[in-house]
Amino acid sequence: MTDPCAFGVYIHWPFCLSKCPYCDFNSHVRHAAIDEARFVRAFSAEIAATAARAGGRTVSTIFFGGGTPSLMQPATVGAVLDAVARHWSIASDVEVTLEANPTSVEATRFRGYRAAGVNRVSLGVQAIDDAALKELGRLHTAREALDAVAVARASFERYSFDLIYARPGQTPADWAAELKRAIAEAGEHLSLYQLTIEQETPFFALHAAGKLVVPDDDTGRALYDTTQDVCAGAGLPAYEISNHARPGAECRHNLVYWRAHEYAGIGPGAHGRLDIAGERRATATEKRPEAWLMRVEGSGHGVVTDEALTPEQMADEFLLMGLRLAEGVAPERYAALAGRPLNPRRVAILREQGAVETTADGRLRVTLAGFPVLDAVVADLAA
């Protein structure tokens, strides 16, 4: 079921046309033109430096995330892919995903990405409702978003799009209708995120001031249940807490994270997990784009954190990521990482509560009833 040799490369493009008021990703707005040639040189240098430490891998997935990577010129994307291929072998069935924002989708640009080697796009549609898009601070309408989906469908064999639900005032009936409209436009994959109020965002301040009211816990739960029912009924079951796919069409890059495989993080604010000299190393680069550029130009890479994880940390991370998946985790892999098995008493209690179950092949997984309280389940098992 899992591919132990999976190796992913994540490339971060840190710029957006405007900052959405709910978003705390490492994304920045610049009014001057971005010097993409300079970024290509820096990405190439950081790829070379990472491959010098973690060579001999075969890349199975590459993901351009952001920010808004669809603001990159296709030639920039192609040059970064060439740099990856200069330093590592590339699997013949490599998955290459690029995140796109509907505001910056044009058919010619998408054809350019495809010619450069991208074979999957993930579009940030967010809502199919103009009032909701306005409230989310998006620069596109529902019509423009659906037109972008049509361009994606015509340009790529594999595409996905994101929606945000549990928005202010949203009822399960509204959401079911919107989700059905979305599914009619979807291909093999959808990402459906509950709106999270992130600290230090404009939404956080509005929420704290009582000016932005999100659905209460019971309504949030009902919205989550609606999501599962509508998607499963349409052949798009959840394979991860927020991700739905037709069986076999899962995003292989995200599976690399959730299955705790190895990945390189390239670009401003990118995280990596690399197995070097028998240790799992957690890496992170400088977040600020211009500071990252200067670091790479000065020392060949932008890494500011590079730590070996302890067995305890590796095991916790394995649970935290793996229990997000419908397939769950192999308890023996946990035991091998932690140096001790999961506490059988805690597992038994959670099983009695209906929050976890053991599959026929001995994997431990969170049930549909347990997913809304996933953080508590993980905390309990890791304690």
Triad 168, 171, 173: Cα angle to 5°: 150
Q: What is the DSSP letter of 122?
A: E
x/- map, 90-109, ligand SF4, by CB under 6 A? -----------x--------
- CB 308, min distance to ligand SF4, A: 31
Q: Which does 343 bind (CB under 5 to 8 A by kind): ligand SF4, ligand SAM, none?
A: none
Q: Which does 286 bind (CB under 5 to 8 A by kind): ligand SF4, ligand SAM, none?
A: none
- With 0-12 CB in 10 A as exposed, 13-18 as middle and 19+ as buried, what is 270? buried
Q: Are 73 and 36 in contact (CB under 8 A)?
A: yes
Is 204 a binding residue for ligand SF4 by CB under 6 A? The answer is no
Residue with tokens 């809502």: 127
Is 59 a binding residue for ligand SAM by CB under 6 A? The answer is no
- CB 124, min distance to ligand SAM, A: 2
User: Which residues face 123 on adjacent strands?
Assistant: 100, 161
CA–CA separation, 146 and 128 (whole Å)? 8
CA–CA separation, 318 and 282 (whole Å)? 13
Cis-peptide, bond into residue 67, ω within 30° of zero: yes
DSSP string, 262-325: EEEEESTT-EEEEEETTEEEEEEE-SSHHHHHHHHHHHS--EEEEEEPPHHHHHHHHHHHHTTB
Is 66 a binding residue for ligand SF4 by CB under 6 A? The answer is yes
Tokens of residue 129, six digits: 């409702």
CA–CA separation, 348 and 288 (whole Å)? 46
Smaller CB separation from ligand SAM, 202 or 331: 202
Smaller CB separation from ligand SAM, 68 or 285: 68
Tokens of residue 146, six digits: 């659906």
x/- map, 134-173, ligand SAM, by CB under 6 A? ----------------------------x-x---------
Q: Which does 19 bind (CB under 5 to 8 A by kind): ligand SF4, ligand SAM, none?
A: ligand SF4
Q: Which does 370 bind (CB under 5 to 8 A by kind): ligand SAM, ligand SF4, none?
A: none
# chain residues binding ligand SAM, by CB under 6 A:
15
Q: Which does 268 bind (CB under 5 to 8 A by kind): ligand SAM, ligand SF4, none?
A: none
Report the site for ligand SF4 in 17-56 (rule: CB under 6 A): 19-20, 23, 25, 27
SS3 347: helix
Q: Residue 20 CB: number of other CB atoms within 10 A? A: 20
Report the site for ligand SAM in 80-139 (rule: CB under 6 A): 99, 101, 124, 126
Q: Which residues contact 108 (CB under 8 A, 6 or more apart)?
A: none
Binding residue for ligand SAM, selected from 48, 158, 193, 368, defined by CB under 6 A:
193
- CB 278, min distance to ligand SAM, A: 33
x/- map, 19-38, ligand SAM, by CB under 6 A? ---xx-x-------------
Smaller CB separation from ligand SAM, 66 or 302: 66
Q: What is the DSSP letter of 76?
A: H
The site for ligand SF4 (CB under 6 A) is made up of: 16, 19-20, 23, 25, 27, 66-68, 101, 124
The site for ligand SAM (CB under 6 A) is made up of: 22-23, 25, 66, 68, 99, 101, 124, 126, 162, 164, 193, 195-196, 198
